[in-house]
Structure 1
Amino acid sequence: MQGYNPTPEQMLALAALAEKIQLWARELGFQQIGISDGNLSSEAERLEEWLDEGYNGTMAWMAERQEMRKQPEKLHEGTRCIISARMDYLPDSTEQIKILKSPEKAYISRYALGRDYHKLIRKRLAKVAEKINAEACIIFPDQPAHQRPFVDSAPVLERPLAEKAGLGWVGKHTLLINQYAGSWFFLGEIFTDLPFPTNTFTAENKCGDCEACLKVCPTAAFPKPYQLDARRCIAYLTIENKGPIPQEYRAVMGNRVFGCDDCQAICPWNKYAQPSGEKDFQPRHGLANSDLLTLFLWNEDTFLKNTEGSAIRRIGFEGWQRNLAIGLGNAPHSNEIIQALRSQKNTASTLVAEHIDWALAQQLNPQRKRPRKLQR
């Protein structure tokens, strides 16, 4: 793919186009845009260390496609710059702390309460890319531009890229934090071969001495600041992990049945987070405040109907029942729960049945004491 050799006039036009991208993105519901050069050489060693430790668990694709993560031009040929976009998702009044402290309720990660963000953000980034192409044809009439949008479904180191683009800093919990918006947001990217002027501002890391996110983690999933052991993370265990959940993590999972937000909920910077006005991110089917037992009694057809267009559907009905069984095992003693667990076991898969057995053992042990969190 031929590279660009822009004239001073064309560089001025690209700078103006970058300003237009900001406007288009806001019109499409994005809160922030930044452009980086895509050079991730400083991240390569950190990624290799993380993979060498086996912290990716069963996510083999993290290792198999690591070169594309480290070198964006290998993912999209000719990439010169990467446009990073931020879209806030926190639903209004979902009372995450209240639900976590209600052991009969099901806690679902706040990002998954509404429609699946992947398609929504990708479609909007594609619209931005189309507008960029139209403008690029005027600036470079003899050379077609190439753009490609990504949203958390390709080997992209989105947080380091967003940090380079000036959208915030990577916190000790490995999530991106914005000084004015906290961390309740999605990220998306447009890889482009256009030589845009790139961000020169790097957000100051303002985590300071705070380690609240590390200390609150129920499963002690952070070996050290800025490093996550996915194998211990509840988000990984309940979503990415397709097999049994190790017994040592079950009791401390509490009522978290799809993901975990503890490290975000406690972060002081999230006092600045604003509720999302995006209609598609608002909770559906009462999932922000549902009883564990109600969800566990869904049959597969109900599960598929109520999770249509939702990120929850990716774990499948079996994973859903597995996670809910653990939640019911951690719930207060209830004859109704015991009856439901025994009834569902008759038709459960081998995987789910084993978790039901564990839950029954918890329910039938009146002396049980559930630890609040593990120690590393």
Structure 2
Amino acid sequence: MSSLPPDYTALADRIRALAHAAGFQRVGISGIELAEDETFLRSWLAEGLHGSMQWMASHGDKRSRPAELHPGTLRVVSVGLDYGRDADAAWANLRDGERAYVARYALGRDYHKLMRNRLQRLAETVQAEIGPFGHRAFVDSAPVLERALARNAGLGWIGKHTCLIDSDGGSWFFLGELFVDLPLPIDPPATAHCGTCTRCIDICPTQAIVAPYRLDARRCISYLTIEHEGSIDEALRPLIGNRIFGCDDCQLICPWNKFAKRSDEPDFRVRNDLDKATLVELFAWEEDEFLRRTEGSAIRRSGHERWLRNIAVALGNAPKSEAVIAALQSRREHPSEVVREHVAWALARHDLRSSFSP
């Protein structure tokens, strides 16, 4: 006698329950059709708005075709993990030119391993209950259109700043995916609720959001301080302010983030006092100290050279003081040409200022 086919509706409910039990605040299931998003991505790449991120184009259409990335995929389980922070503290940090600003997501440990492990355990639990099935977990580990899939799974809509927004929790959450070969029922996609609001576009320090839903990465501070190698365009340096790793302005200003949930996930707690550290303190880290302090952190991907480059720019934008000048002068003969260039630029900026800050 043949066994009865699985009750996929009940299985979908079970997967949602297990995802919540695993610590994910958001979970939804989508199909794999992303034709409109593929067209948008092709247009964005054709305009060169991805800057030097060649990996965005190197996989062809696999990014928008889940079944080509992982053969057999029928559905995608998208999950969200909150990392909400105190917006008032972030604004205070940005206003203090002597302090360094690090994107809120990078203040604690790197989220990738945590989320991937939880997704893998989720898949293993389901497999233990229903038997073997095809699956693969992703957390920024492959070419995946995660925001489009999460939107289609009902986790939120893609805002004008291109981040995902949930009306019940804002945009302060990480995304992960579990590709499966199970024909689960799908959730309704999220609908957009940005309306006529343009706060994110208006506040962007470098005007990187060139149109609603269209980001020019070449002007984006997150791209410039994290992904971009080499010299930063001199015209953009003064606009970076004290942001040394990433930028949150478009999320901080978003009115939907008044609903964001603050997370006390131990891995996301602030490390190395990065929420209040001064630029001078962080500029003094030698490479061995940088590597030690950033172990398990997303910041490590920038490397020590870019870390110093970014801080040199921020020091050039900082109020003039003896400590700032001394810090910059300590790196004037750094082995890296990139670091030396940005230090020289920062010192030249201060030479134009007649006095030290009180």
TM-score of the superposed pair, with normalisation by structure 2:
0.96
- Report the equivalent of 2:274: 287
Task: Give the Cα separation in 2 of the matches to 1:344 and 1:367.
Answer: 22
Among residues 140, 163, 166, which one is paired with 2:154 in the alignment? Answer: 166
Alignment of 1:48-87 (within 5 A): 48-87=42-81
Among residues 9, 23, 31, which one is paired with 1:15 in the alignment? Answer: 9
Among residues 105, 110, 113, which one is paired with 1:111 in the alignment? Answer: 105
- Report the equivalent of 2:183: 195
Q: Could you tell me whether the CA contact under 8 Å between 1:91 and 1:283 is conserved in 2?
A: no
Q: Could you tell me whether the CA contact under 8 Å between 1:92 and 1:282 is conserved in 2?
A: no
Indicate how the Cα distance of structure 1 residues 119 and 253 shifts in structure 2: closer, same or farther if over 3 A, else same: same
Moved more, 347-356 or 95-104: 347-356
How many residues are paired up? 354
Give CA deviations for 1:47-97 in whole Å, capped at 9, x if unaligned.
111001000110111111131112111110110000000000124577100
Q: Could you tell me whether the CA contact under 8 Å between 1:334 and 1:363 is conserved in 2?
A: no
CA offset at residue 203 of structure 1? 2.1
Matched, 1:215 2:202: yes
SS in 2 for 1:288: coil
Q: Could you tell me whether the CA contact under 8 Å between 1:173 and 1:227 is conserved in 2?
A: yes
Q: Which letter maps to 2:208?
A: A
CA offset at residue 347 of structure 1? 2.9
5+ unaligned residues in a row in structure 2: which ranges? none
CA offset at residue 326 of structure 1? 0.4
CA offset at residue 120 of structure 1? 0.6
- Report the equivalent of 1:264: 251
Give CA deviations for 1:167-212 in whole Å, capped at 9, x if unaligned.
010000001000000000000000011111111x232211000000
Q: Which letter maps to 1:342?
A: Q
Q: Which letter maps to 1:41?
A: A
- Report the equivalent of 1:373: none
TM-score of the superposed pair, with normalisation by structure 1:
0.91
Q: Could you tell me whether the CA contact under 8 Å between 1:35 and 1:84 is conserved in 2?
A: yes
- Report the equivalent of 2:31: 37
- Report the equivalent of 1:344: 331
Task: Give the Cα separation in 1 of the matches to 2:14 and 2:264.
Answer: 23
SS in 2 for 1:95: helix
Task: Give the Cα separation in 1 of the matches to 2:283 and 2:109.
Answer: 21
Q: Which letter maps to 2:120?
A: A
Matched, 1:175 2:169: no
Q: Which letter maps to 1:87?
A: L
SS in 2 for 1:344: coil
CA offset at residue 153 of structure 1? 2.1
CA offset at residue 223 of structure 1? 1.5
SS in 1 for 2:144: coil
Alignment of 1:122-133 (within 5 A): 122-133=116-127
Indicate how the Cα distance of structure 1 residues 183 and 59 shifts in structure 2: closer, same or farther if over 3 A, else same: same
Task: Give the Cα separation in 2 of the matches to 1:153 and 1:271.
Answer: 30
Task: Give the Cα separation in 1 of the matches to 2:327 and 2:37.
Answer: 49
Root mean square deviation of aligned Cα: 1.6
Give CA deviations for 1:340-365 in whole Å, capped at 9, x if unaligned.
21112223411100000001011111
Q: Could you tell me whether the CA contact under 8 Å between 1:29 and 1:278 is conserved in 2?
A: no
Q: Which letter maps to 1:117?
A: Y
Task: Give the Cα separation in 2 of the matches to 1:282 and 1:18.
Answer: 32
Runs of 4+ with deviation above 6 angstroms = none
CA offset at residue 277 of structure 1? 2.0
Moved more, 285-294 or 144-153: 144-153
SS in 2 for 1:83: strand
Alignment of 1:180-329 (within 5 A): 180-199=168-187, 201-329=188-316
Q: Could you tell me whether the CA contact under 8 Å between 1:171 and 1:226 is conserved in 2?
A: yes
Task: Give the Cα separation in 1 of the matches to 2:333 and 2:237.
Answer: 22
SS in 1 for 2:133: coil
SS in 1 for 2:177: strand
Task: Give the Cα separation in 2 of the matches to 1:68 and 1:91.
Answer: 34
Give CA deviations for 1:297-333 in whole Å, capped at 9, x if unaligned.
1111111111110000001100100000001000001
